[in-house]
Structure 1
Amino acid sequence: MIRPDLPLIDLHRHLDGSVRLETILEVGGRYNLPLPAKDLEGLRPYVQVTTPVPGLLAFFEKFEWMIGILVNYDVCHRIAYENVQDALNEGIDYIELRFSPMFMAEPHGLHPQGIVEAVVDGVAAGERDFGVKTNLIGIITRGFGPKTGQKELDALLAHRDDFVALDLAGDEVNFPGEWFVDHFKQAWNVGWGVTVHAGEAGGSPAIWQAIRELRATRIGHAVRAVDDPDLMDYLAENGIGVEMNLTSNVQTSTVPDYANHPLKQMLRHGILATINTDDPGISNIDLPYEYEIAVERAGLYEDQVAQAQQNALTIAFLSEEEKADLLTKKRSA
């Protein structure tokens, strides 16, 4: 159902959840890492979700070997570079890749600023070689707490011109957004956009907090917004973007199945909802899969899918000139 006259855009993809199985095997072998398997099919069940898991924490466990191979900055550079190449192979015209420096640094004691430098350089090299317009979003991981979150933010701010936005991700139930207001003030002060994971494991109050206190103009997941009619109206009337992830939400049991995913309801309500991949390396999907297979299972009509594709261009962290350029290039291709 991909509209060929509109850019294909992924606004919600975790770079560290988009690591190739082949890369895990190669790097693991080179550095003698204790991988759970030595071949692709043996490794797959340890890294990828094949059937829904009982919740987000079970899904997060699949990151073990995604980040477990990040033994040095060269590997981090490679992962970033391959993310852009994979976007090209999926036919993506514009992608926003997000990552948490502390999350990537932790397994092997790397420095978060070194992680940032490696990712920035890897993405720049990928853009140059593959021609896919790519922007970066920095993540503060809630679970590290506000103090470590500031260290993470400092690493991102050292390369402030290489980022378009700040995100807050992780355990929203036990590490509420209220703890991170001062961090996001710093993001506003340097002109970054704000997108926040909210309303996935938590309820609609987490979404309200992200909008009112963190000044989010986009929300990641936001599936619990449908429980709050006033919030649904607010999202629609104020043009708050929603980065939805069909397969990921089914796999984490955030929604019971595709048919009960709220994307269709949000689009009907006039909300700027979009279709994205989240962690395609873990979910074993790509963006065309979400547009061709997942949307059909979710019961979306062709015009609704096209609206979601248009919404992605509308809410992208791009200037109006950049959006117009993307559209022009697509229609002249």
Structure 2
Amino acid sequence: MSVLPGDAGPIEDAALTLAAQAGDVSALARLLERHRPGMRAVALSLLGPGPDVDDVLQEAALMALRRIVDVRDPQAVGPWLRMVVRNNCRTVLRVSHRVEPVESLPLPSDGATPEQVLETHALRDWIWEAVEALSPTVRLPLVLRYFSTGITSYQQIAEACAIPVRTVRSRLNQAREALTQALAATAATAHDDTVRRTENSWREAHETLAAAERGEFGKVLKDRYSPGVTLLAGGERLGGAELLLAGMESDLAAGVRQRPLHVVAGRSLVVWEMELINPPGDPDHCPPGVAWIISLNGGRFDRVSLHHAARPPAAP
């Protein structure tokens, strides 16, 4: 009977897994290297040769970083890693509308988003500290890919960042490599409380919308936004604070309301994903949702890029 390379040495697997769960980056790197042949074999069997294989392995490495603390049997980390790869392959096959050649065993899902997973264990603050260390060029695609809920596909990220899909793939590769280095560099530094920052951002999103409905959005702009704030859509500059105010007032006058659905909050980048609720008399006034992708400068909102969700296809 053949044995996959990743099945050897369960005792060493257990030791490396426990060290990785305690925050040892080098242990996680060794663990991934030990099981890389088996993980690659799974990806090749499902996807065949091609660039998707490398993408899936990189995604699996990042997933392992986020969820290594969830492994209950350290000696069985090899099968767990291969399940991560299978799950990622299923996503690739589903998005590309390809037929999956063999059955795969999906990872058990508890319905949690990547950000909610981060909030359940002690690595969350360390990971966000490393994300903040990335350059803005690669940070935004990484945050959208792994921490948003509605802008996760390559095409959606390309539209939100106003770059080609091939550039999204390249920047995500750069981001994943840079994140590994940043994690090692920030392991011993102080980390902000990500949960508290996210809670504050949720509250701010609700308070911003409530102030707008009271006719006080202008005050919010003055108190919270940079004087030279820029409003963008699709990478094109539309205007500044005046247009932000006019757009909000116009939507409210038309009966459109926004409801926060998901918040991603870093020190330098915030994403508010909103549901757009149209008036009953004009259900097609706005798309179903909009994401506020906000860059901060000196703690103030400096750039607001709006990405609208795609409208559902028209009924025949």
Q: TM-score scaled to structure 1, two decimals?
A: 0.27
Q: TM-score scaled to structure 2, two decimals?
A: 0.28
Greater C-alpha radius of gyration: 2
Q: Relative contact order (alpha carbons < 8 A, sep ≥ 6): 1 or 2 greater?
A: 1
